[in-house]
Amino acid sequence: MSQVKSIQQKVIPGFGLTMGFSVFYLSVVVLIPLAALLFNSTGLTWVKFWEVATDPRVLASYRVSFTTSAVAALLDTILGLLLAWVLVRYKFPGKAVFDALIDLPFALPTAVAGVSLTALYSQNGWIGSFLEPLGIKVAFSPIGITLALMFIGIPFVVRTVQPVLEDMDRDAEEAAATLGAGRLRTFCKVILPSLLPPLLTGFALAFARGIGEYGSVVFISGNMPMRTEIAPLLIMSKLEQYDYAGATAVAMLLLIISFFLLFMINSLQRWVRRTSR
Protein backbone atom coordinates (compact mmCIF):
# COMPACT_ATOMS: atom_id res chain seq x y z
CA MET A 1 0.00 0.00 0.00
CA SER A 2 2.81 2.33 0.96
CA GLN A 3 4.61 1.44 -2.31
CA VAL A 4 1.49 2.33 -4.35
CA LYS A 5 1.15 5.63 -2.47
CA SER A 6 4.82 6.40 -3.12
CA ILE A 7 4.39 5.71 -6.86
CA GLN A 8 1.28 7.93 -6.98
CA GLN A 9 3.19 10.77 -5.35
CA LYS A 10 5.96 10.50 -7.96
CA VAL A 11 3.72 10.57 -11.07
CA ILE A 12 4.68 14.25 -11.36
CA PRO A 13 8.25 15.16 -10.35
CA GLY A 14 8.84 16.54 -6.88
CA PHE A 15 7.45 19.74 -5.43
CA GLY A 16 10.68 21.71 -5.89
CA LEU A 17 10.94 21.07 -9.63
CA THR A 18 7.24 21.60 -10.40
CA MET A 19 7.09 24.73 -8.23
CA GLY A 20 10.21 26.12 -9.88
CA PHE A 21 8.82 25.49 -13.35
CA SER A 22 5.49 27.07 -12.35
CA VAL A 23 7.19 30.21 -11.04
CA PHE A 24 9.39 30.42 -14.15
CA TYR A 25 6.41 29.97 -16.49
CA LEU A 26 4.32 32.51 -14.55
CA SER A 27 7.19 35.00 -14.59
CA VAL A 28 7.80 34.72 -18.33
CA VAL A 29 4.13 34.86 -19.30
CA VAL A 30 2.65 37.23 -16.71
CA LEU A 31 4.98 38.87 -14.21
CA ILE A 32 7.77 40.11 -16.52
CA PRO A 33 5.35 41.70 -19.07
CA LEU A 34 3.49 43.42 -16.22
CA ALA A 35 6.80 44.60 -14.75
CA ALA A 36 7.77 45.99 -18.16
CA LEU A 37 4.46 47.86 -18.26
CA LEU A 38 5.21 49.38 -14.87
CA PHE A 39 8.78 50.20 -15.93
CA ASN A 40 7.63 52.01 -19.08
CA SER A 41 5.07 54.04 -17.15
CA THR A 42 7.81 55.27 -14.81
CA GLY A 43 9.05 57.43 -17.69
CA LEU A 44 6.32 59.84 -16.66
CA THR A 45 6.42 62.09 -13.63
CA TRP A 46 3.51 61.80 -11.20
CA VAL A 47 2.18 65.12 -12.47
CA LYS A 48 2.30 63.93 -16.08
CA PHE A 49 0.84 60.54 -15.13
CA TRP A 50 -2.06 62.23 -13.32
CA GLU A 51 -2.54 64.57 -16.28
CA VAL A 52 -2.78 61.62 -18.67
CA ALA A 53 -4.98 59.57 -16.32
CA THR A 54 -7.49 62.36 -15.74
CA ASP A 55 -7.72 63.55 -19.33
CA PRO A 56 -11.43 63.79 -20.20
CA ARG A 57 -10.96 61.65 -23.31
CA VAL A 58 -9.22 58.93 -21.27
CA LEU A 59 -11.91 59.00 -18.57
CA ALA A 60 -14.62 58.78 -21.23
CA SER A 61 -12.91 55.74 -22.76
CA TYR A 62 -12.77 54.07 -19.32
CA ARG A 63 -16.47 54.79 -18.81
CA VAL A 64 -17.36 53.23 -22.18
CA SER A 65 -15.14 50.17 -21.63
CA PHE A 66 -16.23 49.38 -18.08
CA THR A 67 -19.93 50.16 -18.57
CA THR A 68 -20.35 48.11 -21.74
CA SER A 69 -18.22 45.26 -20.34
CA ALA A 70 -20.29 45.10 -17.15
CA VAL A 71 -23.61 45.18 -19.02
CA ALA A 72 -22.42 42.57 -21.53
CA ALA A 73 -21.13 40.28 -18.75
CA LEU A 74 -24.40 40.63 -16.84
CA LEU A 75 -26.47 39.77 -19.92
CA ASP A 76 -24.07 36.90 -20.71
CA THR A 77 -24.60 35.56 -17.19
CA ILE A 78 -28.37 35.34 -17.70
CA LEU A 79 -28.17 34.06 -21.27
CA GLY A 80 -25.32 31.67 -20.45
CA LEU A 81 -27.33 30.11 -17.62
CA LEU A 82 -30.24 29.50 -20.00
CA LEU A 83 -27.97 28.00 -22.66
CA ALA A 84 -26.23 25.74 -20.14
CA TRP A 85 -29.60 24.66 -18.74
CA VAL A 86 -30.89 23.70 -22.20
CA LEU A 87 -27.71 21.78 -23.03
CA VAL A 88 -27.68 19.85 -19.75
CA ARG A 89 -31.35 19.21 -19.02
CA TYR A 90 -32.79 18.52 -22.49
CA LYS A 91 -32.12 16.22 -25.43
CA PHE A 92 -32.88 17.47 -28.93
CA PRO A 93 -31.69 16.87 -32.50
CA GLY A 94 -28.46 18.68 -33.32
CA LYS A 95 -27.49 19.11 -29.68
CA ALA A 96 -23.82 18.29 -30.39
CA VAL A 97 -23.67 20.95 -33.12
CA PHE A 98 -25.41 23.46 -30.85
CA ASP A 99 -22.94 22.65 -28.09
CA ALA A 100 -19.95 23.11 -30.43
CA LEU A 101 -21.27 26.47 -31.65
CA ILE A 102 -20.93 27.84 -28.11
CA ASP A 103 -17.14 27.67 -28.44
CA LEU A 104 -17.04 29.33 -31.84
CA PRO A 105 -16.13 32.80 -30.45
CA PHE A 106 -12.98 31.20 -29.00
CA ALA A 107 -11.80 30.07 -32.44
CA LEU A 108 -13.12 32.89 -34.65
CA PRO A 109 -10.74 35.85 -35.08
CA THR A 110 -12.29 38.72 -33.17
CA ALA A 111 -11.80 41.13 -36.08
CA VAL A 112 -13.89 38.85 -38.29
CA ALA A 113 -16.61 38.84 -35.65
CA GLY A 114 -16.51 42.64 -35.50
CA VAL A 115 -16.81 43.01 -39.27
CA SER A 116 -19.69 40.51 -39.38
CA LEU A 117 -21.59 42.23 -36.57
CA THR A 118 -21.06 45.64 -38.15
CA ALA A 119 -22.37 44.38 -41.50
CA LEU A 120 -25.45 42.90 -39.82
CA TYR A 121 -26.34 45.82 -37.56
CA SER A 122 -25.32 48.83 -39.66
CA GLN A 123 -27.95 51.06 -41.21
CA ASN A 124 -28.01 48.97 -44.39
CA GLY A 125 -27.44 45.59 -42.72
CA TRP A 126 -29.88 42.70 -42.57
CA ILE A 127 -30.95 43.40 -39.00
CA GLY A 128 -29.95 47.06 -38.72
CA SER A 129 -32.19 48.06 -41.62
CA PHE A 130 -35.21 46.93 -39.55
CA LEU A 131 -34.01 48.50 -36.30
CA GLU A 132 -32.99 51.93 -37.65
CA PRO A 133 -36.58 52.93 -38.65
CA LEU A 134 -37.63 52.08 -35.08
CA GLY A 135 -35.05 54.51 -33.73
CA ILE A 136 -32.72 51.74 -32.49
CA LYS A 137 -29.16 52.41 -33.58
CA VAL A 138 -26.94 49.42 -32.86
CA ALA A 139 -23.80 49.85 -34.95
CA PHE A 140 -21.55 52.78 -34.00
CA SER A 141 -23.21 53.10 -30.59
CA PRO A 142 -22.68 51.65 -27.08
CA ILE A 143 -25.37 49.06 -27.90
CA GLY A 144 -23.17 47.69 -30.67
CA ILE A 145 -20.14 47.57 -28.36
CA THR A 146 -22.19 45.66 -25.78
CA LEU A 147 -23.39 43.23 -28.45
CA ALA A 148 -19.82 42.53 -29.60
CA LEU A 149 -18.67 41.97 -26.02
CA MET A 150 -21.60 39.62 -25.41
CA PHE A 151 -20.51 37.61 -28.45
CA ILE A 152 -16.99 37.04 -27.20
CA GLY A 153 -17.99 36.57 -23.53
CA ILE A 154 -20.83 34.05 -23.70
CA PRO A 155 -18.63 30.88 -23.86
CA PHE A 156 -17.01 31.76 -20.52
CA VAL A 157 -20.34 31.65 -18.68
CA VAL A 158 -21.70 28.55 -20.43
CA ARG A 159 -18.55 26.49 -19.94
CA THR A 160 -18.32 27.53 -16.28
CA VAL A 161 -21.94 26.74 -15.38
CA GLN A 162 -22.39 23.63 -17.55
CA PRO A 163 -20.23 21.15 -15.53
CA VAL A 164 -21.81 22.27 -12.25
CA LEU A 165 -25.28 21.65 -13.67
CA GLU A 166 -24.20 18.23 -14.95
CA ASP A 167 -22.91 17.21 -11.51
CA MET A 168 -25.88 18.63 -9.61
CA ASP A 169 -27.89 16.04 -7.71
CA ARG A 170 -31.53 16.20 -8.82
CA ASP A 171 -32.86 14.42 -5.72
CA ALA A 172 -33.12 17.75 -3.87
CA GLU A 173 -35.24 19.19 -6.69
CA GLU A 174 -37.52 16.16 -6.65
CA ALA A 175 -37.80 16.39 -2.86
CA ALA A 176 -38.71 20.08 -3.09
CA ALA A 177 -41.36 19.31 -5.71
CA THR A 178 -42.71 16.49 -3.54
CA LEU A 179 -43.03 18.90 -0.60
CA GLY A 180 -45.09 21.26 -2.74
CA ALA A 181 -42.52 23.88 -3.75
CA GLY A 182 -43.23 25.58 -7.07
CA ARG A 183 -40.75 25.86 -9.93
CA LEU A 184 -39.62 29.38 -9.01
CA ARG A 185 -39.18 28.53 -5.33
CA THR A 186 -37.28 25.33 -6.19
CA PHE A 187 -34.98 27.26 -8.51
CA CYS A 188 -34.32 30.09 -6.04
CA LYS A 189 -33.92 27.94 -2.92
CA VAL A 190 -32.41 24.70 -4.26
CA ILE A 191 -30.67 25.30 -7.59
CA LEU A 192 -29.52 28.93 -7.54
CA PRO A 193 -27.35 28.72 -4.36
CA SER A 194 -25.24 26.00 -6.00
CA LEU A 195 -24.98 27.95 -9.25
CA LEU A 196 -24.02 31.32 -7.74
CA PRO A 197 -20.23 30.62 -7.50
CA PRO A 198 -19.89 29.45 -11.15
CA LEU A 199 -22.17 32.28 -12.29
CA LEU A 200 -19.94 34.82 -10.53
CA THR A 201 -16.87 33.15 -12.03
CA GLY A 202 -18.40 33.30 -15.50
CA PHE A 203 -19.33 36.96 -14.96
CA ALA A 204 -15.78 37.80 -13.86
CA LEU A 205 -14.23 36.01 -16.85
CA ALA A 206 -16.59 37.64 -19.35
CA PHE A 207 -16.09 41.04 -17.70
CA ALA A 208 -12.30 40.73 -17.76
CA ARG A 209 -12.37 39.57 -21.37
CA GLY A 210 -14.57 42.52 -22.34
CA ILE A 211 -12.35 45.17 -20.75
CA GLY A 212 -9.37 44.25 -22.88
CA GLU A 213 -11.25 43.38 -26.05
CA TYR A 214 -10.19 45.27 -29.17
CA GLY A 215 -10.73 43.37 -32.44
CA SER A 216 -14.46 42.74 -32.30
CA VAL A 217 -15.25 46.22 -30.95
CA VAL A 218 -13.10 48.49 -33.08
CA PHE A 219 -15.33 48.16 -36.16
CA ILE A 220 -18.79 48.31 -34.61
CA SER A 221 -18.00 51.08 -32.10
CA GLY A 222 -17.37 53.80 -34.68
CA ASN A 223 -14.48 55.05 -32.51
CA MET A 224 -16.04 58.43 -31.73
CA PRO A 225 -14.03 60.20 -28.97
CA MET A 226 -15.98 60.85 -25.76
CA ARG A 227 -18.85 58.65 -27.01
CA THR A 228 -17.90 55.22 -28.34
CA GLU A 229 -14.13 55.16 -28.00
CA ILE A 230 -12.90 52.24 -25.85
CA ALA A 231 -9.75 52.30 -23.71
CA PRO A 232 -7.82 49.64 -25.74
CA LEU A 233 -8.36 51.72 -28.89
CA LEU A 234 -7.06 54.82 -27.12
CA ILE A 235 -3.95 52.87 -26.11
CA MET A 236 -3.43 51.80 -29.73
CA SER A 237 -3.86 55.41 -30.89
CA LYS A 238 -1.17 56.59 -28.48
CA LEU A 239 1.17 53.81 -29.62
CA GLU A 240 0.68 54.81 -33.26
CA GLN A 241 1.64 58.35 -32.28
CA TYR A 242 4.80 57.01 -30.56
CA ASP A 243 3.45 58.19 -27.20
CA TYR A 244 4.65 55.04 -25.42
CA ALA A 245 4.68 56.58 -21.96
CA GLY A 246 1.12 57.88 -22.37
CA ALA A 247 -0.07 54.50 -23.69
CA THR A 248 1.48 52.62 -20.77
CA ALA A 249 0.00 55.13 -18.31
CA VAL A 250 -3.50 54.49 -19.69
CA ALA A 251 -2.84 50.72 -19.70
CA MET A 252 -1.46 50.84 -16.16
CA LEU A 253 -4.53 52.60 -14.80
CA LEU A 254 -6.79 50.23 -16.74
CA LEU A 255 -4.90 47.30 -15.22
CA ILE A 256 -5.18 48.65 -11.68
CA ILE A 257 -8.93 49.32 -11.96
CA SER A 258 -9.52 45.91 -13.59
CA PHE A 259 -7.53 44.12 -10.89
CA PHE A 260 -9.46 45.90 -8.14
CA LEU A 261 -12.83 45.03 -9.69
CA LEU A 262 -11.86 41.40 -10.31
CA PHE A 263 -10.53 41.13 -6.76
CA MET A 264 -13.89 42.35 -5.45
CA ILE A 265 -15.76 39.85 -7.65
CA ASN A 266 -13.51 36.97 -6.57
CA SER A 267 -13.93 37.94 -2.91
CA LEU A 268 -17.69 37.94 -3.40
CA GLN A 269 -17.43 34.55 -5.09
CA ARG A 270 -15.48 33.07 -2.14
CA TRP A 271 -17.99 34.53 0.32
CA VAL A 272 -20.91 33.01 -1.60
CA ARG A 273 -19.15 29.63 -1.71
CA ARG A 274 -18.54 29.68 2.05
CA THR A 275 -22.08 30.73 2.93
CA SER A 276 -23.69 28.20 0.58
CA ARG A 277 -21.95 25.22 2.25
If DSSP states are collapsed to H, E and C, what string results for 183-238? HHHHHHHHHHHHHHHHHHHHHHHHHHHHHCCCHHHHCCCCCCCCCCCCHHHHHHHH
* CB-based burial, 192-212: b 16+ in 10 Å, e otherwise: eebbbbbbbbbbbbbbbbbbb
> Chain-centre distance of CA 41, in angstroms?
26
Alpha helix positions (H), 90-170:
95-102, 104-107, 110-121, 128-131, 142-167
Amino acid 12: pLDDT: 66
Contacts of 128 (CB under 8 A, 6+ apart): 120, 121, 122, 138, 139
The Cα–Cα gap between 233 and 217 comes to 9
Cβ atoms of residues 257 and 210 within 8 Å: no
Amino acid 11: pLDDT: 64
Which helix (H) or strand (E) is 94 found in, with range?
none
Start-to-end CA distance of the chain, whole Å, equals: 34
- Domains detected in the chain: 36-276 (1.10.3720.10)
Q: Which residues of the chain have pLDDT under 50?
A: 1
Amino acid 40: pLDDT: 65
The Cα–Cα gap between 192 and 107 comes to 31
Other CB atoms within a 10 A radius of the CB of residue 263 amount to 11
The Cα–Cα gap between 77 and 71 comes to 10
State the maximum Cα–Cα separation within the chain, in Å, rounded to a whole number: 75
Amino acid 64: pLDDT: 92
Closest CA relative to residue 210, chosen from 167, 126, 148, 161: 148
Contacts of 216 (CB under 8 A, 6+ apart): 110, 111, 113, 114, 117, 148, 149, 151, 152
pTM given for the model: 0.83
Amino acid 54: pLDDT: 81
The Cα–Cα gap between 49 and 41 comes to 8
